[in-house]
A and B are shown apart, each in its own frame.
Chain A
C-alpha cells in the first residue's frame, strides 16, 4: 500500500508523515518553527527571524531539509536556528534535556515530509 502510494505521489514518497509534520511545525511542542518562520496556510503570530518557508519544498530536497533541521550550523556556522537533531557539542544543557535532541529522527522526517508539500 505504502509502495503504491509512493509510486502515485512522488511528493509523499518521503518516509515521514506530512500531517504529523504539520502538527509539529504549527503546534506548541518543542519545535516552535512559527516563532521564527512564516509558514503558508497556518494561522497566528509568525516571526521573521528565519526566512519564510513558502516554497521551501521546491527550493530544497528532502536530504538537504533534513540536514538543515538536524543541524543548521553545518550549513552556516553563525546560524540562529537550533540544532533539532543534535545532542553533541552543546554547552550547559539543562539536566532534563541533556542527551536528548529537540526532535526525534522520526519527527524530523515528518517535518521534512510536511515542508516538501510547501511548493
Chain B
C-alpha cells in the first residue's frame, strides 16, 4: 500500500515535472519584471491592443475574457491559433505590431486560465510527430532539448520545457514582443532546418501539440523571458 502511494506520488511528480512554465527557469529579475504590470514591457502592447480593440472590434465584441484559453482549437479539420483567428478578421500581417498588440491584449484577458483545454490527443498527433522528428543540419528534434535536457545549460542559457503559455512574450534577446511562431522559427534556424513561413501548417501543428502537452499550465501573457 505504501509502495503504491509512493508510486502514485512519483508518477504525479513525473507528470508535474513535464509541466513547468518557462518562468520557473527564469532569473529573479525576469520574474520581477513579469510580476509587475507597471514594469512588464509587454504591457505596452496590451495597452496598444486595447486601443485597436476599442476602435475596430468593440462594436461587436463586448469582452474577450477567456477567449485566448480556447485557442489553438480545431475547426473543420484545421488548427486555428489565436493569431489566425484575429488575422481572419483584420488585415494585420503576422508579427506586425498591430497583430502582436491585439493578440497580447486578448491573451492578457485570459491570464490565469489553463491552456490546451480545447484539444484532444488525436488533434495533436501530427504535431507530436513533428515535435519528435529530427530535422536540419544539426539533426535535432524539439524533444532532444525540451524534454530530455530541460533545466540544463546550453552555454549561458537554461533550457526550458518550451511551454507556450506565455505568448506573445517579451524576450530580452529580441528587445520586443514576439509570437510563439517567431520563437519556434528561432529553433528551426538554430538547428539549420528549412524555415517554415508564418502560418505554415507545420508551425500550427507544433503550436497545437505544445498547447496540449502543456495543458493545465496557466496563461501568463504577456510573459517576460531572457
Residues of A whose CB lies within 8 Å of any CB of B are 32, 34-36, 45-49, 73, 80, 82-83, 86, 90-95, 97, 100, 102
Contacts and interface: CB of A to CB of B under 8 A. Distances in A.
Contacts of A90: 134-137, 139
B149 interface: yes
Given A90-B137, A90-B139, A97-B137, A49 B194 contact: no
Interface in B106-164: 133-140, 144-145, 148-149, 152-156, 159
A86 B193 CA distance: 15
* Residue of B137, B148, B153, B195 contacting most chain A CB atoms (<10 Å): B137
A71 to B, nearest CB: 9
8 contacts: A46-B153, A47-B153, A48-B153, A49-B153, A82-B139, A90-B135, A91-B134, A94-B193
A47 B135 CA distance: 22
Contacts of B144: 80
Given A80-B140, A83-B139, A92 B193 contact: yes
Nearest to B202: A92
B192 interface: yes
B154 A49 contact: yes
Contacts of A92: 135-136, 193-194
Interface in B203-226: none
A86 B192 CA distance: 14
Nearest to A95: B194
B148 A80 contact: yes
Interface residues of B, number: 23
Nearest to B156: A45
Question: Helix, strand, loop or mixed for chain A's interface?
Answer: loop
A43 B87 CA distance: 47
A49 B140 CA distance: 13
Nearest to B189: A94
Given A80-B145, A82-B137, A82-B140, A94 B192 contact: yes
A100 B192 CA distance: 11
B133 A82 contact: no
Contacts of A49: 145, 149, 152-154, 159
Contact of A93 (B136, B145, B149): B136
B224 to A, nearest CB: 21
A36 B155 CA distance: 6
A36 B152 CA distance: 9
Interface in B177-212: 189, 192-195
B152 to A, nearest CB: 5
Chain A to chain B: the 6 pairs with minimum beta-carbon distance, closest first: A45-B156, A82-B138, A97-B137, A92-B194, A80-B144, A47-B153
A34 B153 CA distance: 10
Given A80-B145, A80-B149, A82-B138, A94 B194 contact: yes
Nearest to B188: A94
Contacts of B145: 49, 80
Given A49-B145, A93-B193, 18 more contacts: A34-B155, A45-B155, A45-B156, A47-B154, A48-B152, A80-B140, A80-B149, A82-B138, A82-B139, A83-B139, A90-B136, A90-B137, A90-B139, A91-B133, A91-B136, A94-B137, A94-B189, A97-B192
